[in-house]
A and B are shown apart, each in its own frame.
Chain A
């Protein structure tokens, strides 16, 4: 355990992490300290390795080099269920078993807390009930997952990982397929968990949303981290031009004061009185 690590042993860290699927590594020799209790948002262009990084942090893919450390110990050395009691991951496209109810799905999040002969634990009902309540699904608990709307379904999956009651929660593009109101609803839930002290890591596509909600912003490009820190310091017009190839202005978000990306208009109609550069 490093002397600089926080009291809890340093939470989740990547050291010299390379991950690939046979060919060129998608994540290359990457170091990351996930700030304990932080709301970390990972952004980057398509194919930059951000999804692969969160998967590796949750042990859904094995590194080809380097390691992921959980409380100072190599994550690969944890037993499956033991790791799952610390780290939860919601993948991009999870599969709902045919005919499963919302409550049934959420209850499966309790699996890591069970053993072969003890498939029930005293905390189960409380954890499942709380997860349903936080996601506003208590009234839909007995509904079948497949008959829910897209937004409700995503909330059911979030409830499942919440029921796992891990200190670390990793979400891979949780807002994809949601309409804008549901996107913000989900981001508010992340912010709420963060305020309660939970460590949350999310991969996001929308830079403005990431900048508005993140306590720690990680920018990736070509398998590496190119910048990280407070959104106000990290997100600059130069960085967006370099990483995303998009010319833009950064203006303060009128509501939150966080940096907001305003792309330069190329083909769109220019509003009279709009600033030209």
Chain B
């Protein structure tokens, strides 16, 4: 078939049409990779519920998750591992999408809201609440306030809001350093004994999560994901530089501000339910990009990859023989470190670093 004949045909290849109003291109490889990631996530989720001493036998799993369990199994599904799994899925997805948006619009493969001080701000907020007014305010609320305060500080101190990616990162690193110093001060000044309660939080943990946490991250995703997907195409065009994207009609600066705000909301939601979990937002988009070998922000795939990574990391955290109390954030940090090392050696070998 010649290209001309294909153009004349009513049903174009690789495009899904719905009436005359909807026509969306589909990429075979991306769909395949997405399906594989979903499948792996399902496997990891089943393992999370069924492995170990308290695990539910595979045969009982279908009835248990549909509410037909009793006794110990019901406790595991409804209280112990069920909410924890759902929080891991939601938080991972939020972090993956957050990183994909942030990296694309700042053209920085090492970017994420953590780089500009979101996690450090959350840590400072948590420190104040946990150590200076223990029991009065939930630690997660303190973290959320700290994260938002840090982002406001970044927005104000760049002098150009979130429009200029370079200034954003420089101002963000400054704010992150100040927030970390502040946390250290609070920990030092108040009471070093109480600080142990904070360490689990500062590393990010999924232990003892409730359905309330699951609902929180669920609402964040429900609001932000549709908006992010609407923004997706503009984000993709924005990767061609502000000048060209502007001439093509993709409004790059407005797109950047919207994407950074959505990215921050996702990360702040994740921080509120799980504390600052490191590296998921950094690695998920990079892994998604390499899996499809394509271009663009891979928003959907980065979201799925983030969920898979965090569920896997939490599975390891729960089943690890090392210490069952170790927060998941320590494992993600280890994964991230390995990943960064691999990335650096690869770029170094290619001579691009």
Residues of A in contact with B (beta carbons under 8 Å apart): 55, 58-60, 79-84, 87-91, 93-100, 104, 108-109, 111-112, 114, 116-123, 125-126, 129, 164
> Which residues B17-53 have CB closer than 8 A to chain A?
17, 21-25
When C-beta atoms are compared, the residue in chain B nearest to A101 turns out to be B295
CA distance A164 to B248 in the complex (A): 9
Binary contact track B236-268/A, C-beta < 8 Å → 1, others 0: 110111011011111100000000000000000
Q: Per-residue CB proximity of B202-243 to A under 8 Å, as 1/0?
A: 000000000000000000000000000010010011011101
Residues of B within 8 A of A95 (CB): 107, 239-241, 244
Chain B hits for A111, CB < 8 A: 233, 237, 248-250
Give the nearest-CB partner of B294 in chain A: A99
Interfacial chain B residues near A99, Cβ < 8 Å:
289, 293-295
B25 in complex: contacting residue of A96, A98, A119, CB < 8 Å: A119
**Which residues from A are CB-within-8-Å of B248?**
80-81, 84, 108-109, 111-112, 164
Is A59 within 8 A of B295, CB to CB? no
A126/B22 contact (C-beta < 8 A), A120-B12, A120-B15 known: no
Q: Given A120-B25, A129-B3, check contact A108 B247 (CB 8 Å).
A: no
B346 at the interface (CB under 8 A from A): no
B6 at the A interface (CB under 8 A): yes
In the bound complex, how far is the Cα of B12 from the Cα of A133, in angstroms?
21
User: B240 to A117, Cβ gap below 8 A?
Assistant: no
The prevalent SS among residues of A at the interface is loop
Given A99-B293, A99-B295, A100-B295, A125 contacting B6 (CB threshold 8 A): yes
In the assembly, what is the distance between CA of A117 and CA of B250, in Å? Answer: 15
Question: CB distance B230 to A80 under 8 Å?
Answer: no
Of B21, B25, B247, which one neighbours A60 at CB under 8 angstroms? B247
A93, A108, A122 pick with most chain B CB within 10 angstroms: A108
CA distance A81 to B244 in the complex (A): 12
Minimum-distance CB pairs A-B, first 3? A80-B249, A81-B249, A95-B241
- Is B63 at the interface (CB under 8 A from chain A)? no
Asked whether, in the complex, the Cβ of A117 is within 8 Å of the Cβ of B21, the reply is yes
Could you tell me the distance between the alpha carbons of A99 and B21 in the complex, rounded to whole angstroms?
31
Are A84 and B249 closer than 8 Å at their CB atoms?
Answer: yes
Cα(A93)–Cα(B17), bound, Å? 36
A174 smallest CB distance to B (angstroms): 14
Known contacts A118-B22, A119-B23; decide if A97 and B247 are in contact (CB<8 Å): no
Q: For the complex, give the distance between the alpha carbons of A95 and B12 in Å.
A: 29
Question: How far is A120 from B12 in the complex, measured between Cα atoms in Å?
Answer: 9
Q: Which residues of chain B are within 8 angstroms of A87 by Cβ–Cβ distance?
A: 247
Check B246 against A94 for contact (C-beta < 8 Å).
no
11 more A-B residue pairs beyond the given contacts A80-B249, A94-B240, A95-B239, with a C-beta to C-beta distance below 8 A:
A80-B251, A84-B247, A84-B249, A97-B236, A104-B294, A109-B248, A111-B237, A117-B21, A117-B24, A122-B7, A125-B3
> A79, A104, A119, A164: which contacts B295 (Cβ < 8 A)?
A104
Question: Are B23 and A118 closer than 8 Å at their CB atoms?
Answer: yes
Q: Is the CB of B249 within 8 A of A112?
A: yes
CB of B296 closer than 8 Å to a CB of A: yes
Asked if B4 is an interface residue, CB under 8 A from chain A, the answer is yes
Closest residue of chain B to A104, judged by CB? Answer: B295
- Closest B residue to A83 by beta carbon equals B249
Residue in contact with B230 in the complex, picked from A89, A90, A116, A121, CB distance below 8 Å: A116
Q: Report whether A97 and B3 are in contact in the complex, using a CB–CB cutoff of 8 Å.
A: no
Nearest CB on A from B94, distance (A): 23
**With contacts A94-B241, A108-B240 known, is A79 near B249, CB below 8 A?**
yes
A12 CB to closest chain B CB (Å) equals 14
Among residues of A, the one whose C-beta sits closest to the C-beta of B6 is: A125
Expressed in whole angstroms, the Cα–Cα distance for A93 and B296 within the complex equals: 19
Give the residues in chain B near A121, CB-CB below 8 Å: 23
CA distance A84 to B107 in the complex (A): 24
- Interfacial chain A residues near B250, Cβ < 8 Å: 80, 111
Instruction: Looking at the assembled complex, report how far the CB atom of B300 sits from the nearest CB atom of chain A, in whole angstroms.
Output: 14
> In the complex, which residues of chain B have a beta carbon less than 8 angstroms from the beta carbon of A80?
246, 248-251
User: In the bound complex, how far is the Cα of B194 from the Cα of A123, in angstroms?
Assistant: 67
Are A97's CB and B246's CB within 8 A? no
Contact indicator B295/A98 (Cβ below 8 Å):
yes
Q: Which residues of B contact A55 (CB under 8 A)?
A: 243
Interface centre among A59, A83, A111 (most CB of B within 10 A): A111
